[in-house]
Every structure is written in structure tokens, then in C-alpha cells.
Structure 1
């Protein structure tokens, strides 16, 4: 895939009535916030969806589409999740966020404590608090080399009432790709405290640097206590076709999660099943082109901030298309998102990722270079 179609994207192309991202704010605001890409969908996916519409849209294989299951099993095996059982290893979901809620409901009880490492994608926090559980935050540590797990903070967070560790791998919003050594030490921690683990690995295919390691691959006994959540929507830009999957080496855990959502959670649509199947059939050319463009945009953000906004602290993400910006040294704290809106730029407010992160903002750089350049110019104007 050449970069020309991506470079050519303009706000006029993207601001259509069906886009939540581009219509939430008034015309003239550049929306680099919610995590979907501005890029066109892979041609193989659009062809598959068009062909699917030539057939009926009655109930599809609600209990698991066999071709999709086979392709997903093979993909996960290739990433390192070997020895998945032949039966009971997967439960399909309408998205990963419902999987977070179902995992909390299935693996904990009201009043239990749940550990997660902040800053964190906001539904991690709401999945805990909305269901009467208590968040035990273990803040990450920011160093000269980037974001790291604070092992002392983890030890301080665990209590006798802690039942579950919620992990994001790769991490949203910092973009860390946790190393095998870090994940192994995290697995040792979970084993020591007899914790269940749910790991959101939705951004695995958007690894820009390093090697992605599934959490459930690092310690054989811990995989029996782990649920992995995955899906295609981030890598293939199909958030409007909601689908995800909960995967485990332990079929009993999958059954518990399925029961937790029974009657409350819808099933993936026929078109979402077709989309994911087509994504898994792609030869990799489209995704490789997207990753190359994202690396270029990430490096452009890093260069711009270093040269023109050195007071903004930023560590280039190893995965995702999200830049986690520390704007506190510019004199801004709570209310930074509203301040930026006044300059025509919509970013995610850092405080939604944890109360301690007021003054941070999350920027989505999965857009054309021209739009990204204008957005960063507006950021500079707003901060200086």
C-alpha cells in the first residue's frame, strides 16, 4: 500500500454524518481523540462485506463461526498462545469493553478489590466501579527511558480482598509493549497473590517496535487463571463493526465469563464476523503499510515536540497510534481538554485515565500527515 491515499485525507473527506469522531465537536475542530483511525478500510475487508450482502442477513453462526474460529486459533498460536484446547477456548463478544465488564463480574464479587496499572484506558476503571468493586491503582513509573511497571506500587496495591489483576498489553495510553521479562515478573506477582488475570491485547497487531508477547504465554500455570481479550477493530479500523473474543486455556473460565454476560450482552453481527474473517485472511500488505505510516507519524510527533514544544514530556509509543502527552510543565492541569478546544483541537483529557493524570492528554496520530501537522501547530499555539 502506498502512502498517497493516506496523505491525501482531508477534514472534508472525514467529516461525514456517520462519524462520531468527526461530528462530536463543531466544524473546524480537529478531533484527534477517540481511538479509531482516519484511514480507509483494507480493500479485502470491503470486498468481503459487499459479497456478504449478496446473501441473507438472518441469524448467522451465533455459537461460533467455524472458519473464523480456525483462523483466530491459528493467529493466536502464531503469536505465542500455543496449546489452546480444541473446545471451549473462546467466547465471542460484541467488543472488548463488554469483555472487561464481564470478566470483572465473573471473577470477582461486590466489595472485592481489583488492581490495574494507571494511567489506563477509562473502561478499565468503570468496569470496576460500575459493578461495586474497588479500584486498587498501581501507578506506572515514568523514567528517562519511558514508562515502567512500579513493582513497589503493585505490592502496595494488593490487599487480602484483591481477586483480579487487569492488564493492558500493549498498554493504552502509554504505548508500552511489555517485555517477556516484565510479563513473567507480573505473572509471578499474580501467582503469589492467587489473582485471576484479564489481559486486554486489542492493540497487539499495532506493535511498532519490539516484540509483542501474550501474557498467557509466559508461565504455564498462570494461563489457567488468565482470560485474554482480543479483536480486530483497532488494527483494521472497524470499530463500527463491534466484535471481540475472550480466550483462555481454561474452558471453565470462558464458561464463567459467558454466564456473566448471559442475557445482558448482545452477540457480534453477521457483518462483523465476515469482517474479522476477512482481516485474518489478509496477506499483511495493508497492515504493513499502515504500520509504516504510523511509525512515520509517531516520529514526526516526537521531532515536533522536541524542536518546538520541549516542555511537553513525551515517550514515543512502542505500539498503538496514541501519544500520551504530559503538558503539566506548560502550566496547565485540570481542564486542559477545554483549553485545547478553544484552539480547535480535541484530545482526550488525561484525568479520565486516572485522577492523578490531570494535565496529561492523549493524542491520536492515525491521520494524514497534513492534519497531524495542523493539529500539532494548534497545540503549540495553545500552549505558548
Structure 2
């Protein structure tokens, strides 16, 4: 039986939804990375069954069924896995683990905002290397990376697939990143939260490139983006080098552990969620292409490089010469809430991130609102 991906605003707009309750009711919210689709039925059923077991503490090191599934999936020993309350806590723990206060952490921009806050909030020094816009995709500027690295650089934070541009880095690109990291003896944390949301091409896990690369890499992963379960926070840090995970555990002590229901959800996603995920990927491809056609026809001034992964569109609206940042203008004048460009790094005032994991009707209405606001 096909899964339903209908979107009814009367169902998704409620006070318990941050996405739909953050702004006034006349605003269309296409910002935070929640899908407007129902959760996979096998996950819902697994959660119901879990309630029959009570809600006492689950094993503090993780429920065995989930731990076994994750270690098998990533090919690591039990000591090479640490469950987390979420991937963001893993970003903070990795920065604290692999760089000391005042030392440098390199990342590419634009980037998911917690990358930058994890560096700055912990008194490490950010090295932010802009991606470059190619003809059909964003690309890594390796010359800029080489020019920016110093003897004080300790950690490279990689987003793979990339948020917000939606790039799935090729093996050749990742091999160049790996060569750079090894040459400069950098630790690498690879945020692969969106790996299951690859729409085009193949996803390559950074740690899979070579044993010497894996030995210097911690991979952060989780189910919440692919399976639309952000309200059940959970993630994991994974490495073939168990010593790195042991160091992170000491740093992350006291930050909490994922709930029993979150662990049940993730195990159900791994063991029963694949058919639903295949269907949602087909829906997301169709929504992405629908949005690309809309932007091309109705907003030709915008530059939009269709993402290869995620359900997030990085819109370049600089040609419109808006009087404020793109996100602020669209919220005030179009009543459309997007993520504002400057939150992803400096000099992105003309950009905004749009979440297209919703209905075609909502996407069409959002673009029409934007067009009317710009034309007026």
C-alpha cells in the first residue's frame, strides 16, 4: 500500500510545531528542516509497542538492538560508537575534543549555523572558507583552503552532503579533502546527517576513503532528517578509531543521552523504514524539480542550483538588489519565512534557504507571494 505524503495545513499547523507556530498565521513557513509529511507508519507502530514496555531508563550506553544495528551499518566496534542527544551536541563535543581554546577550526561556508556556533561558543578560532559557484554546482576552493590553513589549525569540519547547498561531494573531491587533512595532520569531523537524503548520484562516506583517513575521522549521523523525527532527538558519533570516541565521551559527559523512544524510532527506521524512505525520496525529487521550474519561470532573476541531496534549496537573490537581507525582506513583504542567508556565514545577505519538503500547492503559493513582493 503506497504511503501518504499529503500535506494538510490544518494538520501540520499546531502549537507544538516550531516550524508552523514560530510566525504569524499569515506566514508560510519554509524554513527549519522539518518535512510536512506524515512519519513512516512502521516507526509510529514501533513507538506504540515501545509504550507497552514502560518509560523507565533505557540502558545508558544504548539499547543493544540499536547499537548492534548501527555498529553493523558503519562497520565499527562497539567502542567506536557513542550515542548522542543529537548531531549538534556532537559538533560541540568534537570541537572541544580536537581543538583547544584559541586554536583554529576550518569549515566551508555557507554552512549549517551550529558549525559556526560550536566553534565560537567554545572560544576556538573559525577559519571559514567560502565555496565557489560553478556553472551547475557549488565547489570546494582547495586553493583557498591551502591559503587559510596555519600551524594552529587542528580540526576540519565537513558537511557531507552539504547543508545548505545540497552538494553530494564526489569521491575525487573527498579524496582531495582527505589528502589536505592528512598533509596538515588535521582531525576531521564529517557531519553526514543528510546522507540518506541523497537525490542524485552516489553518497560517499568520508571515512570510507582509506584506513588512514578513517583513523583521523569522526562521523556524525542520525535519523531525524531522513525520517522526519526531529522531535525525538538522537544522533551518534562513529569512528573506526575507538580512541577518538573515548576522548569525545569524556568531553561530552553530562550532556545527557537519547530517550528510550528516540532509540526505538531509530531502530525502526533502520530495520523497517527503507520502503517509506524510497518513496519520500521520489516525492522530494519531484518537489525539487517542481520548485526549479517555478523559479525558472516566475523568478528568473534568482539563481538556484538544484540540490543533489537534502530537501533544502539555497536561493541566490542578489540580482534583485533587495533593501534588506533576503530573508528579512521576504518575511516582511511576502509573508514567507525562509532561513536568512547571513546565519550561514558572512556576506550571504542576498541568499536564503528554502525547505521544499511540503506540497506543490504551498511551494506555488510561496513563489507567487515572493514574485508579488518583488514586483511591487
Aligned match of 2:11 in 10, 13, 23? 13
Gaps of 5+ in 1: 77-81
Task: Find the counterpart in structure 1 of residue 63 from structure 2.
Answer: 65
Task: Find the counterpart in structure 2 of residue 341 from structure 1.
Answer: 331
Aligned residues: 374
Aligned match of 2:160 in 155, 161, 169? 169
Name the SS for the 1:227 alignment partner.
strand
Residues 16-38 of structure 1, C-alpha deviation per residue, up to 9 Å, x if partnerless? 11101100000021100001111
Task: Find the counterpart in structure 1 of residue 182 from structure 2.
Answer: 191
Task: Find the counterpart in structure 2 of residue 314 from structure 1.
Answer: 304
Aligned match of 1:129 in 91, 104, 120? 120
* 1:96 corresponds to 2:96: no
CA drift at 1:349: 0.3
Aligned match of 1:22 in 11, 20, 28? 20
Taking only aligned residues, the RMSD between alpha carbons, in angstroms, comes to 1.2
Residues 18-70 of structure 1, C-alpha deviation per residue, up to 9 Å, x if partnerless? 10110000002110000111110000000010111111211101112211112
The 5-angstrom pairing of residues 170-249 of structure 1 reads: 170-249=161-240
Task: Find the counterpart in structure 2 of residue 56 from structure 1.
Answer: 54
Task: Find the counterpart in structure 2 of residue 79 from structure 1.
Answer: none
Q: Is the 8 A contact 2:86 2:234 kept in 1?
A: yes
CA drift at 1:335: 2.6
Q: Is the 8 A contact 2:160 2:192 kept in 1?
A: yes
Aligned match of 1:47 in 45, 48, 59? 45
> Aligned equivalents of 1:52 and 1:2: distance in 2?
25
Residue 21 to residue 133, structure 1, CA distance change in 2 (3 Å): same
Q: Is the 8 A contact 1:334 1:351 kept in 2?
A: no
CA drift at 1:369: 1.3
> Aligned equivalents of 1:9 and 1:22: distance in 2?
13
TM-score by length of structure 2 reads 0.97
Q: Is the 8 A contact 1:327 1:333 kept in 2?
A: no
> Aligned equivalents of 2:374 and 2:144: distance in 1?
32
Task: Find the counterpart in structure 1 of residue 293 from structure 2.
Answer: 303
Task: Find the counterpart in structure 2 of residue 106 from structure 1.
Answer: 97
TM-score by length of structure 1 reads 0.95
CA drift at 1:283: 5.2
